[in-house]
Structure 1
Amino acid sequence: MKQEPPVLIEPQGKVQKTVIWLHGLGADGHDFEPVVPQLGLPEDHGIRFIFPHAPINPVTINGGMQMHSWYDIRSEDLMNDVDAAGIRVACYRVFELIENQLKQGMAAEDIILAGFSQGGLIALHAALSGQYELGGVMGLSTYCPMAEQFYLHRKMPILMMHGLYDPVVPLASAEASRAAIEKGGYQVEWHTYPMAHQVCAEQLLKIGEWLQQREA
């Protein structure tokens, strides 16, 4: 099946940074498209937003239902029952998007990965195990098994955010993931919000501030 091209939002002026933002399970690239105007960015922010679509695959935990998914979720044991092969394939999809930006003249340090839930896991794994010296990575309402693989880009800015009442990805899984990443020598900026498995207005403004701080 031919892969659907990502949703692309170009800035008004010169492109200075690129954010590749991955959606969660069952959504698609349009899911986070509406948040861009809610980030509180100035008109001349210069950020290109790319929202790719995950391929459609059967998801075991949902009875084998076909849906947009970056990898399979086999059980509720998110940190241990892991589709490592699927995660690796999804990361290569992200690497292709990064390579495409590099070919267009974007520097690696001006590329930021972001993702929500499943997409957050892929963003973290791609950024922290890949060969690229990226400008940062943002994981929203996510978890991160296999963090022992992360040993490369020690100074990469990492932003993690989570809902205190998340029933899908438990806060404990997110906190354990953060601790594992920090154990590898990384600095993680961590924020929690009184919400479930979602994003909120206060959080989006904080994301906008964080993106503006990622200077070349």
Structure 2
Amino acid sequence: MAVAQKLQRCAVSQTGKHSASVIFLHGSGDTGQGLRAWVRDVLKQDMAFTHIRVIYPTAPARPYTPMRGALSHVWFDRYKISADCAEHLESIDSMCSLLGSVIQEEIRAGVPKHRMIIGGFSMGGAMALHLACRYHPEVAGVFALSSFLNKDSVVYQAAQGRRGQPLPELFQCHGSADELVLHRWGEDTGALLRGVGMATSFHSIPGLNHQLSLMELERLRSWILKKLPPNSPSNGQ
């Protein structure tokens, strides 16, 4: 299915000089506006920074096989929600190309790739791993919340092929009670990426199901600031 050439998005602008960017991808069936509202509801305020713009793109609606072909805002198609099946690479690669335009817009705004982080919730986290590890490994980091990669994912092959070269650091959070995306799928994803040379950290959130929590968003915010500090020598400040 052909998708629109311009992704809708919303953003939380920095309050000072724009020197870094975060691209935060929603889960299946959500939108960028919906994810921003969810984050704001959990934090009781926007995830905002003095120097970092936070961008929430929206996936175009497309037929989604696990919903029997019904239209949904999903980043790519899946044959089924399982770690054991093949990836739908045609839809993944098509969306990587579209999301690349968001990255290029930030570059034109004066933000280099090493001052960007890409991440997401659920399907958004898997999409972020494909985008960062396969197409834009120069970014500062990638985060995956309640997310997983298929066991035979080409992301592992891409990371393996970059041994000895820079790879983005991975930050993961996963609820221990997640019944949709099993906790062990997230753990296995992190372990396999560590095995091919990627620096990773995995945070298990006790009792959390398939949702965002205050604890993980606070940890994520701290990690983002560590990777994208406001006074980095590389950004000329």
By the TM > 0.5 criterion, same fold? yes
Instruction: Say whether 1:148 aligns with 2:157.
Output: yes
> In structure 1, how many angstroms separate the alpha carbons of the residues matched to 2:197 and 2:116?
21
Q: Deviations over 1:69-88 (max 9, x none)?
A: 11112223234232121111
In structure 2, the residue matched to 1:180 is: 192
For residue 25 of structure 2, the aligned residue among 19, 22, 27 is: 22
Displacement of 1:42 in angstroms is 9.7
Q: Runs of 4+ in structure 1 displaced over 6 angstroms?
A: 39-43
> In structure 2, how many angstroms separate the alpha carbons of the residues matched to 1:166 and 1:197?
5
For structure 2, which runs of at least 5 residues remain unmatched after alignment?
233-237
What percentage of residue pairs aligned between the two structures are identical?
A: 25
In structure 1, the residue matched to 2:180 is: 168
Q: Deviations over 1:37-78 (max 9, x none)?
A: 829999763110110000101111111111101111222323
CA contact (8 A) 2:19 2:110 kept: no
CA contact (8 A) 2:11 2:54 kept: yes
Displacement of 1:33 in angstroms is 1.1
In structure 1, the residue matched to 2:117 is: 112
Displacement of 1:9 in angstroms is 1.4
CA contact (8 A) 2:138 2:166 kept: no
CA contact (8 A) 1:160 1:191 kept: yes
In structure 2, the residue matched to 1:206 is: 219
For structure 1, which runs of at least 5 residues remain unmatched after alignment?
none
| Larger deviation, residues 194-203 vs 70-79 | 70-79
In structure 2, the residue matched to 1:158 is: 170
What SS class does the counterpart of residue 77 from structure 1 fall into?
coil
> What CA RMSD, in Å, does the superposition of the two structures yield over aligned residues?
2.2
Displacement of 1:104 in angstroms is 1.5
Superposed, 1:55-204 pairs within 5 Å as: 55-145=60-150, 146=153, 147-150=156-159, 151-152=161-162, 154-194=166-206, 195-204=208-217
| Larger deviation, residues 33-42 vs 128-137 | 33-42
Q: How many residues align?
A: 216
Displacement of 1:144 in angstroms is 1.6
> In structure 2, how many angstroms separate the alpha carbons of the residues matched to 1:154 and 1:39?
36
> In structure 2, how many angstroms separate the alpha carbons of the residues matched to 1:196 and 1:104?
38
